[in-house]
Amino acid sequence: MEMRDKIAGALKEAMKSKDQERLSTLRLINAAIKDREIALRAEGDGAGSVGNPEILAIMGKMVKQRQESARAYEEGGRLELAEKEQAEIRVIEEFLPRQLSPEEVAEAIEKAIAKVGASSIRDMGRVMGELKGKYTGQMDFGAVGAQLKEKLA
């Protein structure tokens, strides 16, 4: 099933059940996808359609933004706003694939290095491309980049 269809179905269910928090978050997801499509059209990349991998990347970015916001709210003593961000994260994560454990991430990095035949830091881009192709939405590529640099240095 297409990611877009899952989101649309969840949106309809949230409307029927009058779940305002969930509805609000699902609308934010749709808006982010539409924003990306508009940006693609403006860049002149074909019809501006966004596929499942790109939708996963958008939602992963949304989760990361909300985690940072929740942390900032907690540090500022605004717990009600931090809880709202956490609730949004839970809704978004329903659509994301299961996150890989640190052991699984390390194993995936090793396999990607072997597949690409990487031997130095100059090969990092090829290894990251391989990982993003297989594991979009399943790992934090910021943290993976640091681990990869360490292994290839």
Residues 110 and 89 in one domain: no
Answer yes or no: do 87 and 134 share one domain. no
Closest to 140 (Cα-Cα) out of 83, 84, 101, 110: 101
pLDDT by residue (tens digit) across 8-60? 999 999 999 999 999 999 999 999 999 998 888 887 755 667 888 888 888 98
Q: For residue 76, is pLDDT > 80?
A: yes
Please tell me what DSSP assigns to residue 137: T
Tokens 């717990």: give the residue: 79
Instruction: Assess whether 80 and 108 both reside in one domain.
Output: no
Instruction: Give the total number of structural domains in the chain.
Output: 2
The Cα–Cα gap between 119 and 153 comes to 9
pLDDT value of position 7: 93
Shared domain for 40 and 66, answered yes or no, is yes
pTM, two decimals, is: 0.73
pLDDT value, residue 71:
95
d(CA 96, CA 55): 9
Same domain, 24 and 42: yes
103 Cβ contact list (under 8 Å, min separation 6): none
Give CA angle at 84 (82, 90), nearest 5°.
105
**37 vs 99, more confident:** 37
Indicate whether 123 and 89 sit together in one domain. no
Sign for the pseudo-dihedral over CA of 132, 136, 141, 147: negative
Residue 19 token pair: 């779940």
pLDDT at 92: 93
Domain region containing 116: 102-152
